[in-house]
Amino acid sequence: MSALSHVPGPTGGTPDVQATDPGTERRGITGYLLMLPGTVWLLLFFLVPLVTLVSSSLYDPSGSLATGYSMTGHVQNYADALSEYGSTFVRSFLYALTATIACLLLGFPLAYAIALKAGRWRNLMLVAVIAPFFTSFLLRTLSWKLLLGDDSWVVNALQALPLVPDDLRLLATPAAVITGLTYNFLPFMVLPLYASLERLDVRLVEAAADLYASPFTAFRLVTVPLAMPGIVAGTLLTFIPAAGDFINSELLGNPRTRMIGNDINDLFQASVLPTASALSVMLMVAIVALVAVYVRRSGTDELV
Amino acid sequence: MNRSTRRAPRLSFPVPDLSRRGFVRGAAIGGLGVGLPGLLAACGTEAAKVESDECTSTDKSDSEKVVNFSNWPEYIDVDGKRMPTLEAFEKQTGIQVNYNTDVNDNTEFFAKVQNQLGACEPIGRDIIVMTDWMAARMIDLGWIQELDHDNLPNVDANLVPNLQDVAWDPGRKRSVPWQSGFTGIAYNSKYTGEIGSFEELLTNPDISGRISLLTEMRDTMGFMLKVVGADPSDFSDDEWGQAIEELEKAVTSGQVRRFTGNDYVDDLNKGDLVACEAWSGDVIAMQYDNPDIKWVVPEEGLSLWSDNMMVPNRADHKANAEALMNYYYDPEVAATLAAWVNYICPVQGAKEAMEKIDPSLVDAPLIFPDEEFMAQTFAFMSLDEETARKYETEFSQAIG
- Which domains are seen in chain B, by residue range? 52-174+311-329 (3.40.190.10), 181-304+384-398 (3.40.190.10)
Task: Determine the distance in angstroms separating the CA of B61 from the nearest CA of chain A, rounded to an integer.
Answer: 30
A145 in B contact zone (CB under 8 Å):
yes
Class of domain A87-297: mainly alpha
Tell me the shortest Cα–Cα distance from A16 to chain B, in angstroms. Answer: 8
pLDDT of residue A11: 46
Q: What is the mean pLDDT of residues B184-188?
A: 96
On the question of pLDDT at B182 being above 90, the answer is yes
SS3 sequence of B241-263: HHHHHHHHHHHHCCCEEEEECCC
More confident call, B318 vs A2? B318
Quickly state the pLDDT bin for A133 (edges 50, 70, 90): confident
What pLDDT, on a 0 to 100 scale, did the predictor assign at position A3?
A: 42
**Interface subset of A 113-142, CB within 8 angstroms of B:** none
Interface contact flag, B34 A47, Cβ < 8 Å: yes
Taking the CA of residue B88 and the nearest CA in chain A, the distance in Å comes to 36
Cβ-defined contacts of B350-356 (< 8 Å, 24+): B350/B158, B356/B332
- Range with the lowest mean pLDDT among A103-117, A169-183, B26-40, B352-366? B26-40
- Does A145 have pLDDT greater than 80? yes
Mean confidence (pLDDT) of chain A: 87
B43 CA: distance to closest CA in chain A (Å): 5
A110 or B18, higher pLDDT? A110
- Contact assignment for A199 to B6 by CB distance below 8 Å: yes
User: Minimum mean pLDDT among A206-220, B17-31, B183-197: which range?
Assistant: B17-31
pLDDT of residue B388: 86
**Cβ-nearest to B35 among A8, A51, A199:** A51
Q: CB–CB of B271 and A56 under 8 A?
A: no
What pLDDT does residue A110 have? 96
Confidence of residue A217 (pLDDT cuts 50, 70, 90): very high
- Point out the residue among A25, A84, A271 whose CB comes nearest to the CB of B114: A271
Instruction: Check residue A8 and give its pLDDT.
Output: 44
pLDDT at position A165, please?
A: 86
- CA-wise closest residue to B156 among B398, B325, B381: B325
pLDDT at A4: 42
Q: How far apart are CA B101 and CA A38, in angstroms?
A: 38
Average pLDDT over residues A114-141: 92
- Choose the weakest-confidence range: A75-84, B63-72, B260-269: B260-269
- Residue B327 pLDDT grade (very low, low, confident, very high; cuts 50, 70, 90): very high
Give the pLDDT confidence of A168-212 residue by residue, as tens digits: 889 999 999 999 999 999 999 999 999 999 999 999 999 999 999
Q: In this predicted structure, what is the pLDDT of residue A267?
A: 87
What pLDDT is attached to residue B68? Answer: 96
Instruction: State what percent of residues in chain A have pLDDT above 70.
Output: 89
Q: Which of B39, B47, B399 lies nearest to residue A66, judging by beta carbons? A: B47
pLDDT computed for residue B41 by the predictor: 57
Question: Can you tell me the distance from the alpha carbon of B144 to that of B252, in angstroms, rounded to the nearest whole number?
Answer: 40
The stretch A122-141 carries a mean pLDDT of: 92
**pLDDT, tens digit (0-9, with 9 covering 90-100), for B337-350:** 999 999 999 999 99
Contact A64 B386 (CB under 8 A): yes
Touching check for A59 and chain B: CB below 8 Å?
yes
pLDDT in tens, B64-117: 999 999 999 889 999 888 999 999 999 999 999 999 999 888 888 998 999 899
For position A266, what pLDDT does the model report? 86
Residue closest to A245 by CA, chosen among A290, A182, A292? A182
For the cut 60, the answer to whether the pLDDT of residue B12 exceeds it is no
The DSSP code sequence of A49-90 is: HHHHHHHHTTB-TT-BTTTB-BB---THHHHHHHHHHHHHHH
Res A10: pLDDT: 44
Query: How distant is the alpha carbon of residue B246 from its chain centre?
Result: 25
Assess A21–B contact: CB distance below 8 Å, yes or no: yes
Residue B245: is its pLDDT beyond 90?
yes
B196 Cβ partners below 8 Å, 6+ apart?
B185, B296, B298, B299
For residues A19-46, average pLDDT: 79
Residue B166 one-letter amino acid: V
- When pLDDT is averaged across residues B236-253 and rounded to a whole number, the result is 95
**Confidence band of B239 (pLDDT split at 50, 70, 90):** very high
Q: What is the pLDDT confidence band of residue B48, given thresholds at 50, 70 and 90?
A: confident
Helix axes A174-198, A137-148, angle to 10 degrees: 130
Q: pLDDT per residue over B285-326, tens digit each? A: 899 899 999 999 999 999 999 999 999 999 999 999 999 999
Predicted pLDDT of residue B40: 53
Residue A152 C-alpha, separation from nearest chain B C-alpha, in angstroms: 9
Q: What is the pLDDT of residue B33?
A: 52
DSSP structure string for B268-308: HHHTS-SEEEEEHHHHHHHHHH-TTEEEE--TT-EEEEEEE
| Contact map slice: A 37-56 vs B, CB within 8 A | 39-40, 43-44, 47-52, 55-56
Q: Which of A48, A147, A200 has the highest number of chain B CBs within 10 A, making it the mutation to test binding with B?
A: A48
Q: Is the model more confident about B16 or about A47?
A: A47
Quick one: what percent of chain B has pLDDT higher than 90? Answer: 63
